[in-house]
């Protein structure tokens, strides 16, 4: 990795990983062809002085290849290094075949040139590798058409050397292709595994801030706009009383820790009763039942949760040593619920029923659960109430309200 680092510079992580993969693949190809070049150099040199020109071709390839590596390593030009090596991988085997005397005399040494378009495919991608493959085909056709001309000037090569060349060319190219493809596939598997992990994290994060059914719809459809009408829901607002005074002598971190402690317990309570947390607004907590998934007992589960809140607050008060109380307001009715926008998704509610639920909380009293007449009508058969009378609600005038005291035995 330290040798590759100069190529990377300050590249983004994704680009850097791609470049590392390209460097490794290209290094395998260059090393493999370098080794076969060494074999060609010694084998052809051993045949006599007349074969010196043949032996010089792979020798020149090694010199140019590793010189370019040092030059481009110094100037951090991975793109230029890649281009040079792909050219060398493509041209050198064909040139060797022409010098030796054609397909038969060279035992098809030009097959090594296939490493160039294959390397381009794995390093540069599908589109940019196409010209390299076309060049390979053109050179192969040209070699075939001129094979008779090349063979006329071929020097005699012992049959055992030709057989060795044939075995090495066939086995060598096959082995290198397998090794490179296997490495590429293993890296691809790691990337896919990492993508799967990231996808799972993204979906988990989405489901942590949105209802499951809404998150699923958002995942399946292209637009982030989701808006549904719900005719029968119940909304609860709960707000900490005198929160500003309580937090006066607390540091910001302590305030956040305290709210996190309280609302984490509320989240557990919401999960217990199967209601949907909508949001927290400062020291206020908002939940709904009946949306996004309809249910007939929406008012009952909200009432049960509301009745448990004072007991929960008593526990938190003992744990934190703070005198915590809440005003709780509940209303039932129709709402529009959904997601609007393309960033910072949040599931929210709109409608008169939401506003009245908020007013029920704002006009309530500490440690009291105030419900609207609509909610009272849904619960009066199963719960005990105390009539409060009329309360002034902004925008609606005087409306009837009730105190929810307990569940009937």
User: Which domains, and CATH codes, for the chain?
Assistant: 5-203 (no CATH), 222-407 (3.30.70.1230)
Q: Report whether 258 contacts 322 (CB < 8 A).
A: yes
Q: Report whether 82 contacts 88 (CB < 8 A).
A: no
C-alpha to C-alpha distance for 243 and 161, rounded to whole angstroms: 92
* Predicted confidence (pLDDT) at residue 382 exceeds the cutoff of 90: yes
Q: Which residues pair with 406 in a beta bridge?
A: 384
DSSP assignment string, 62-110:
HHHHHHHHHHHHHHT-HHHHHHHHHHHHHHHHHHHHHHHTHHHHHTSGG
Confidence bin at 14 (pLDDT 50/70/90): low
Angle at 379 between CA 376 and CA 380, to 5 degrees: 75
Position 2 scores a pLDDT of 44
CB atoms within 10 A of CB 382: 12
Count of alpha carbons within 13 Å of 163, Cβ hemisphere only? 3
* Predicted confidence (pLDDT) at residue 236 exceeds the cutoff of 90: yes
Q: Report whether 176 contacts 32 (CB < 8 A).
A: yes
Mark out the alpha helices in 153-297 (DSSP H runs). Answer: 159-209, 212-220, 243-246, 252-273
State mean pLDDT over 252-268.
88
Tell me the per-residue pLDDT of 21-33, one tens digit each, with 9 for 90 and over: 767 777 777 787 7
- Taken in order 345, 351, 355, 356, the sign of the CA dihedral is negative
Position 383 scores a pLDDT of 94
State mean pLDDT over 82-103.
85
* Predicted confidence (pLDDT) at residue 293 exceeds the cutoff of 90: no
* Predicted confidence (pLDDT) at residue 324 exceeds the cutoff of 50: yes
Tell me 154's DSSP state. Answer: P
CA distances from 141 to 94, 138, 336 (A): 11, 5, 69
Position 87 scores a pLDDT of 87
Position 371 scores a pLDDT of 94
- Taken in order 97, 100, 101, 106, the sign of the CA dihedral is negative
Torsion angle of C-alpha atoms 127, 129, 135, 138, degrees rounded to 10: -70
Position 328 scores a pLDDT of 94
Angle at 357 between CA 281 and CA 326, to 5 degrees: 60
Q: Which residues pair with 387 in a beta bridge?
A: 402
Where is 14: in which H helix or E strand? helix 13-45
Position 4 scores a pLDDT of 45
Instruction: Convert 199-233 into a string of H (helix), E (strand) and C (coil).
Output: HHHHHHHHHHHCCHHHHHHHHHCCCCCEEEEEEEE
* Predicted confidence (pLDDT) at residue 278 exceeds the cutoff of 90: no
Q: Which residues pair with 372 in a beta bridge?
A: 401
| pTM score of the predicted model | 0.56
State mean pLDDT over 220-232.
74
């Amino acid at each position: 990795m330290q040798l590759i680092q100069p190529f990377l510079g300050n590249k983004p992580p994704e680009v850097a990983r791609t470049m590392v993969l390209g460097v490794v693949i290209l290094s395998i190809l260059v090393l493999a062809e370098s080794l076969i070049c060494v074999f060609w150099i010694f084998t052809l040199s051993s045949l006599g002085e007349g074969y010196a020109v043949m032996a010089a071709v792979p020798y020149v390839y090694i010199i140019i290849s590793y010189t370019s590596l040092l030059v481009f390593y110094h100037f951090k030009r991975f793109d230029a290094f890649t281009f040079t090596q792909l050219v060398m991988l493509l041209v050198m085997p064909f040139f060797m075949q022409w010098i030796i005397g054609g397909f038969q005399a060279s035992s098809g040494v030009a097959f090594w040139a296939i490493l160039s378009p294959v390397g381009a495919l794995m390093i540069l991608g599908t589109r940019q590798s196409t010209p390299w493959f076309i060049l390979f085909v053109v050179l192969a056709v040209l070699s075939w058409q001129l094979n008779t001309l090349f063979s006329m000037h071929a020097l005699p090569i012992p049959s055992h050397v030709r057989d060795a060349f044939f075995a090495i060319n066939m086995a060598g190219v096959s082995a290198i292709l397998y090794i490179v493809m296997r490495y590429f596939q293993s890296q691809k598997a790691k990337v896919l595994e990492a993508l799967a992990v990231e996808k799972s994290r993204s979906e988990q994060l989405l489901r942590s801030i949105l209802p499951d059914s809404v998150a699923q719809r958002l995942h399946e459809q292209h637009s982030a706009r989701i808006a549904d009408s719900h005719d029968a829901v119940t909304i609860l607002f709960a707000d900490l009383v005198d929160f500003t005074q309580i937090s006066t002598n607390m540091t910001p971190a302590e305030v956040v820790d305290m709210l996190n402690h309280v609302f984490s317990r509320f989240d557990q309570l919401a999960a217990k009763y199967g209601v949907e947390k909508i949001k927290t607004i400062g020291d206020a907590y908002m939940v709904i039942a009946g949306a996004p998934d309809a249910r007939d007992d929406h008012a009952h589960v909200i009432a049960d949760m509301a009745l448990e809140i004072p007991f929960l607050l008593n526990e938190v008060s003992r744990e934190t040593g703070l005198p915590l109380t809440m005003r709780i307001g509940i209303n039932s009715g129709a709402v529009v619920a959904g997601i609007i926008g393309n960033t910072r998704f949040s599931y929210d509610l709109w409608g008169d029923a939401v506003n009245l639920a908020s007013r029920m909380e704002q006009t309530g009293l500490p440690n009291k659960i105030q419900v609207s007449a609509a909610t009272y009508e849904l619960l009066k058969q199963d719960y005990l109430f105390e009539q409060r009378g009329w309360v002034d609600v902004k925008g609606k005038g005087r409306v009837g309200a009730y105190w929810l005291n307990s569940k009937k035995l």
